[in-house]
C-alpha cells in the first residue's frame, strides 16, 4: 500500500516509524515531514493545510491511503478534498472535525448523544462569562471555543485570571465565544478510537502530562510527556468508553450526515462522580501516540486502511506488547508562550543508541549540516521496558544524552504511576 502522511510533528514521526516498518506499506511519503521522517520516508514540502495541494500530491504519489496527522488540515478540509478525489483517507471531513474545532459543537454533540461530560455554558459576552464563572465556582475552567493547540484552556483558582482569559476569547472578534465549565477532579486518560463512521476500535489507553512543569505546575501545553499502559485504570474502562462515549458520538455524527472517519480522541477524567469527557480531538494525540504506537504489534497501515474504507468490523483484534512505554518531550526555551528557534541540538544519535530508546523529531530543522530547534516541542524521547520503571529509566537515560540550550522538560513523567 502506498501511503501519504500529512504533518510534521513527533506524532507524525511516530506514525511514519510504524508505517515504514509495516510489511503492508510499499511506499511512504510525508508532507511536509521533518528531519526525522526524512530518514525513513520521502518528505515533500507541501502546505499541509492546502486541500487542493494535498489532493494533488496524493494523486501524484499514487497514494492508496492518506493519513492526516494534525487538526488544522482536517478543519481546513484536507480530508474532504482527498475523499473527493476518490482516495481513501484516515481523517474526518471538516464537518466532523468540528468535534475538535469547536468546543461548543462538541458540547452540543455530547448533549444530543447523552455522553457524560462537564456541565458547561457557551458565552458570547464577558457578562455572560462572569455569570457562568460565579455559578460554577472555583476552580474555574475557561476554554477558547476555537482551535488553540491545547493552549486555549485556563484552569485556575484565580477569579481575575479566569475573567481575563474569558475576556480575551470573547473580544477577539464578534463571532468568537468562550466555554465556561464545571471543574472535573480525578486523573485524566486519553483513549484513542479508530472509527470508520459506524464501527469503533479502541487503542491502548495512555496518560498525557499537559502542564509545562513538574508536579503539574505552570501553563497548559500541547503535552510534555505520556505513558502506557495505565496499571491503575479500571479493568472495564475501555469497554465503558466505547459504549458510553465513542459509539454514541460516532452514531450521532452519522445521524447528522457527517460521519466521523478517523481517530476519535477521547480525553477523559475519572472523577469522583464517574467517567466524564474532558475533550474530544479529531486526530491522534501528541505525545500519547508516541507511546501507544510503541506498543502496537499489529499492522497500523491495515488498521487505518480498514477505518478509511468502512471495514473496521472485519479487522482482526489488535495485538499489544506487554512492554511499557513512556515519552519525555523536550521543548525549546520560551515554550509555550514564544518558543525560541535556532538552538543547536546535540546527542540525538547517542540517545537513539541507548537500549530501549528511540528519539522522535518535532520542531527540528537542519541548518548548515547541523540539527537546530525550529518549534516549541522539539523532540520526543521514547523509552520502552518490561515495566514502567524500566521504560522511565530508559527514556531519561536518552534525555540525558541530548543537549539543547535552554531546553525544558519534565522530570516526573510516569513517576508514582
Ligand atoms: P482541553 O483542551 O479541553 O483538553 O483542556 C486542556 C486541559 O485542561 C485538559 O487536559 C485538562 O487537564 C484541563 N481541563 C479541561 N477541562 C477541564 C475541566 N472541566 N476540569 C478540569 N480540568 C480541565
Ligand atoms: N496531548 C494532547 C493532544 O494531543 O491534544
CA of 224 to the centre of ligand 2 (A): 10
Q: With 80 as the cut, is the pLDDT of residue 316 above it?
A: yes
**Percentage, residues of the chain above pLDDT 90:** 93
Domain boundaries, given as residue ranges, for the chain: 2-93, 119-181, 187-314, 324-404
CA of 62 to the centre of ligand 2 (A): 31
Residue 196, pLDDT score = 98
pLDDT band, residue 246 (cuts 50/70/90): very high
Residue 104, pLDDT score = 86
State whether the beta carbon of 223 lies less than 6 angstroms from ligand 2: yes
Residues with CB under 6 A from ligand 1: 118, 141, 143, 150, 153, 155, 181-184, 188, 210, 220, 267, 278-279
- Cα dist. 327→40, 224, 365, 395 in Å? 20, 8, 21, 7
CA of 190 to the centre of ligand 2 (A): 8
CA of 223 to the centre of ligand 2 (A): 6
CA atoms within 13 A on the CB side of 398: 30
To the nearest 10°, report the CA torsion of 152, 46, 266, 22.
-150
The CATH class of 2-93 is alpha beta
Residue 150, pLDDT score = 55
Q: With 60 as the cut, is the pLDDT of residue 48 above it?
A: yes
Alpha carbon distance 75, 119 (integer Å)? 25
3-state secondary structure of 267: strand
CA of 100 to the centre of ligand 1 (A): 13
Strand order in the sheet with 200-202: 200-202, 188-196, 261-271, 274-281
pLDDT digits (tens, 9 = 90+) for 348-392: 999 999 999 999 999 999 999 999 999 999 999 999 999 999 999
Residue 301, pLDDT score = 98
* Backbone φ, ψ for residue 134 (5° rounding): -70, -40
- Cα dist. 273→89, 122, 249, 277, 282 in Å? 38, 23, 21, 12, 26
CATH fold for domain 119-181: Dna Ligase; domain 1 (3.30.1490)
pTM of the model: 0.95
Residue 147, pLDDT score = 66
pLDDT digits (tens, 9 = 90+) for 317-346: 999 999 999 999 999 999 999 999 999 999
| Residue whose CB lies within 8 A of the most ligand 1 atoms, among 140, 278, 282, for a mutation test | 278
State whether the beta carbon of 281 lies less than 6 angstroms from ligand 2: yes
pLDDT band, residue 10 (cuts 50/70/90): very high
The DSSP string of 116-177 is: -B--EEEESSHHHHHHHHHHH-SSEEEEESS--TT-SEEEES-HHHHHHHHHHHHTSSTT--
Domain 324-404 has CATH 1.10.1040.10: no
**Percentage, residues of the chain above pLDDT 70:** 98
pLDDT digits (tens, 9 = 90+) for 173-213: 666 789 999 999 999 999 999 999 999 999 999 999 999 99
CA of 265 to the centre of ligand 2 (A): 9
| Residue whose CB lies within 8 A of the most ligand 2 atoms, among 7, 208, 326, for a mutation test | 208
Burial status of residue 397 (CB atoms within 10 A of its CB: 0-12, 13-18, 19 or more): middle
**Ligand 1 atom 10: the closest Cα is on which residue?**
210
Mean pLDDT of the chain: 96
Atom of ligand 2 minimally distant from the CA of 287? 1
Atom of ligand 1 minimally distant from the CA of 118? 19
3-state secondary structure of 275: strand
CATH number of 187-314: 3.30.470.20
Atom of ligand 2 minimally distant from the CA of 285? 4
Q: With 80 as the cut, is the pLDDT of residue 151 above it?
A: no
CA of 48 to the centre of ligand 1 (A): 27
C-alpha cell at 356: 530501549
Go through the chain and tell me how many residues it has: 417
- The number of beta carbons lying within 10 Å of the beta carbon of residue 319 is 10
Task: Output the CA torsion sign for 285, 280, 131, 134.
Answer: negative
Residue 148, pLDDT score = 63
DSSP structure class, residue 341: -
pLDDT band, residue 144 (cuts 50/70/90): confident
DSSP structure class, residue 318: P
Alpha carbon distance 27, 413 (integer Å)? 35
CA of 217 to the centre of ligand 1 (A): 14
Amino acid at each position: 500500500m502506498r501511503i501519504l502522511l500529512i504533518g510534521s510533528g513527533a506524532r507524525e514521526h511516530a506514525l511514519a516509524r510504524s508505517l515504514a516498518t509495516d510489511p503492508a506499506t510499499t511506499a511512504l511519503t510525508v508532507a511536509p515531514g521533518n528531519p526525522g521522517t526524512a530518514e525513513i520516508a520521502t518528505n515533500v514540502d507541501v502546505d499541509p493545510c492546502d486541500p487542493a495541494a494535498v489532493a494533488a500530491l496524493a494523486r501524484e504519489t499514487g497514494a492508496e491511503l492518506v493519513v492526516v496527522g494534525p487538526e488544522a488540515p482536517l478543519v481546513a478540509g484536507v480530508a474532504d478534498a482527498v475523499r473527493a478525489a476518490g482516495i481513501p483517507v484516515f481523517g474526518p471531513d471538516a464537518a466532523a472535525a468540528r468535534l475538535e474545532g469547536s468546543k461548543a459543537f462538541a458540547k452540543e454533540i455530547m448533549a444530543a448523544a447523552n455522553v457524560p461530560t462537564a456541565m458547561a455554558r457557551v458565552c458570547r459576552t464577558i457578562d455572560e462569562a462572569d455569570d457562568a464563572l460565579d455559578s460554577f465556582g472555583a476552580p474555574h475552567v475557561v476554554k477558547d471555543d476555537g482551535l488553540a493547540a491545547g493552549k486555549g484552556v485556563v484552569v485556575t483558582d484565580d477569579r481575575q485570571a479566569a475573567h481575563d482569559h474569558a475576556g480575551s476569547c470573547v473580544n477577539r472578534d464578534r463571532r468568537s465565544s468562550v466555554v465556561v465549565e464545571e471543574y472535573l477532579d480525578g486523573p485524566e486518560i486519553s483513549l484513542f478510537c479508530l472509527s470508520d463512521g459506524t464501527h469503533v476500535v479502541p487503542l491502548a489507553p495512555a496518560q498525557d502530562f499537559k502542564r509545562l512543569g513538574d508536579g503539574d505546575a505552570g501553563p497548559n501545553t500541547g503535552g510534555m510527556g505520556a505513558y502506557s499502559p495505565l496499571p491503575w485504570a479500571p479493568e472495564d474502562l475501555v469497554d465503558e468508553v466505547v459504549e458510553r462515549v465513542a459509539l454514541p458520538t460516532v452514531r450521532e455524527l452519522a445521524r447528522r450526515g457527517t460521519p466521523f472517519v478517523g481517530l476519535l480522541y477521547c480525553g477523559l477524567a475519572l472523577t469522583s462522580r464517574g467517567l466524564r469527557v474532558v475533550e474530544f480531538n479529531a486526530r491522534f494525540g501528541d505525545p500519547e501516540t508516541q507511546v501507544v504506537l510503541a506498543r502496537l504489534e499489529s499492522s497500523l497501515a491495515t488498521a487505518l486502511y480498514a477505518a478509511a474504507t468502512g471495514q473496521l468490523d472485519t479487522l482482526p483484534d489488535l495485538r499489544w506488547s506487554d512492554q511499557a512505554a513512556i515519552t519525555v518531550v523536550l521543548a525549546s526555551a520560551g515554550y509555550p508562550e514564544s518558543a525560541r528557534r535556532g538552538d543547536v541540538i546535540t546527542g540525538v544519535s547517542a540517545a537513539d543508541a541507548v537500549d530501549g530508546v528511540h528519539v522522535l523529531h518535532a520542531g527540528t530543522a537542519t541548518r548548515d549540516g547541523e540539527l537546530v530547534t525550529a518549534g516549541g516541542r522539539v523532540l520526543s524521547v521514547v523509552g520502552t521496558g518490561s515495566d514502567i520503571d524500566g521504560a522511565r529509566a530508559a527514556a531519561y537515560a536518552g534525555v540525558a544524552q541530548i543537549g539543547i540550550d535552554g531546553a525544558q522538560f519534565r522530570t516526573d513523567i510516569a513517576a508514582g504511576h
